């Protein structure tokens, strides 16, 4: 009888394993392919600090506010959105920018979870941003009804955005949003349709061929980007608060993306883009986080 009970027990465990219903420490294991669902379990990590930064409030609901962690721009928040920052214990700086720049310094401990609320106040056209640390109960209630923007991991050697952002917004074939009408032109090989997404190694070839990009169809001021040796990039904007800035460009051929990481500026954002060709000499970058479009022209 005992051997039969043991056999039944093993059979039951095997069924749980193969049907994906494994239970660990009283919690159901969650698949990594759903990072938002996983983030909302609020499970701490013994050697890391977890910081949830969320935005609530009706003031400035249509305004996007730039956000940076330890001096690195990670994106922009909208109404009812949140970031999850997984980092090493210690002092960290959370900054956001709207009509002003607001900084919050937070001392964190290993195995602890923190909730920070971002609030916008003022009037449209001059909105200020600020942060406040809130209780676990208030923070969890707000995060549960908010949309995850990205999971960001940082450590001692690197504070760059890891691929979590791309996992949340995976590269899929999307309908391009051209700034001009779809056209066709004839060449020696036949007909080619626009717009089209530039993919794979063709992205590298594109930026090797065109080193000076003149952005003249943008959400804000026009600017230029020059691609330097070693994938260093320079952004010039005469009418911006920061006329010149430098950064790094990385091409992810497998995901059909080009990513920019600027040292200071938040315009254009430090994020990843699709490259879409509109005509023979016109292209656009479409942000995967905010769908912002930056149209540019190249010299043939």
What pLDDT, in 10s, does the model give residues 66-120?
Answer: 788 887 777 778 888 899 999 999 999 998 877 777 889 999 999 999 999 998 8
User: Between vectors from CA 42 to CA 38 and to CA 46, what angle results, nearest 5°?
Assistant: 105
- Check if the beta carbon of residue 260 is closer than 8 Å to that of residue 249: yes
Most confident range (mean pLDDT) of 27-41, 161-175, 205-219 is: 205-219
Asked: is 184-297 a CATH 3.30.70 domain? The reply is no
Average pLDDT of the residues in 139-146: 95
Q: Percent of the chain having pLDDT more than 90?
A: 36
Evaluate if residue 155 carries a pLDDT over 90: no
- pLDDT the model gives residue 191: 52
pLDDT tens figures, 264-300: 777 788 888 999 999 988 999 998 876 788 999 998 6
The Cα–Cα gap between 288 and 169 comes to 7
Other beta carbons within 10 Å of 75: 24
Name the residue with higher pLDDT: 4 or 220: 220
Count how many Cα atoms sit within 13 Å of the Cα of residue 194 in the half-sphere of its side chain. 19
Which residues does 292 contact at the CB level (< 8 Å), separation at least 6?
219, 268, 269, 286
- Check if the beta carbon of residue 161 is closer than 8 Å to that of residue 152: yes
Return the domain boundaries, the chain: 30-168, 184-297
Q: What's the gap between Cα 152 and its chain centre? A: 9
Handedness of CA 201, 205, 210, 212 (dihedral sign): positive
Average pLDDT of the residues of the chain: 76
Percent helix / strand / coil, the chain, rounded to 5? 15, 45, 40
pLDDT tens figures, 192-207: 678 899 999 999 999 9
- Check if the beta carbon of residue 56 is closer than 8 Å to that of residue 80: yes
pLDDT tier at 144, thresholds 50, 70, 90: very high
User: Between vectors from CA 185 to CA 214 and to CA 174, what angle results, nearest 5°?
Assistant: 65
Average pLDDT of the residues in 133-161: 79
Exposed (0-12), middle (13-18) or buried (19+): which is 252, by Cβ within 10 Å?
Answer: middle
Most confident range (mean pLDDT) of 12-16, 76-80, 135-139 is: 135-139
Radius of gyration of the CA atoms of the chain, in A: 23
Q: Which two tokens stand for residue 36?
A: 């938002």
């Amino acid at each position: 009888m005992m051997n039969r009970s043991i056999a039944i027990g093993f059979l039951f465990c095997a069924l749980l394993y193969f049907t994906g219903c494994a239970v660990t420490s009283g919690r159901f294991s969650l698949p990594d392919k759903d990072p938002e669902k996983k983030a909302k379990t609020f499970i701490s990590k013994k050697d890391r600090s977890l910081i949830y930064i969320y935005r609530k409030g009706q003031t400035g609901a249509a305004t996007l506010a730039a956000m940076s962690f330890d001096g690195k721009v990670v994106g922009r928040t909208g109404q009812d959105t949140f970031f999850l920052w997984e980092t090493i214990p210690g002092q960290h700086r959370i900054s956001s920018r709207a009509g002003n720049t607001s900084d919050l310094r937070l001392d964190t401990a290993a195995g602890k979870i923190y909730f920070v609320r971002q609030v916008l106040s003022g009037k449209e056209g001059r909105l200020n941003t600020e942060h406040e640390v809130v209780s676990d109960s208030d923070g969890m209630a707000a995060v549960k009804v908010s949309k995850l923007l990205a999971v960001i991991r940082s450590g001692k050697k690197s504070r760059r955005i890891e691929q979590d952002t791309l996992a949340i917004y995976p590269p899929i074939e999307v309908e391009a949003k051209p700034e001009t009408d779809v056209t066709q032109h004839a060449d020696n090989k036949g007909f080619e349709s626009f717009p089209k997404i530039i993919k794979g190694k063709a992205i590298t070839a594109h930026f090797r061929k065109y080193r000076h990009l003149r952005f003249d169809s943008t959400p804000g001021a026009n600017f230029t980007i020059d691609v330097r040796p070693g994938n260093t990039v320079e952004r010039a904007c005469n009418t911006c608060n920061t006329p010149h800035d430098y950064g790094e460009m990385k091409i992810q051929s497998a995901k059909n993306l080009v990513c920019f990481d600027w040292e200071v500026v938040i315009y254009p954002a430090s994020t990843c883009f699709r490259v879409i060709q509109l005509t023979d000499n016109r292209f656009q970058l479409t942000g995967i986080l905010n769908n912002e479009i930056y149209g540019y022209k190249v010299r043939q």
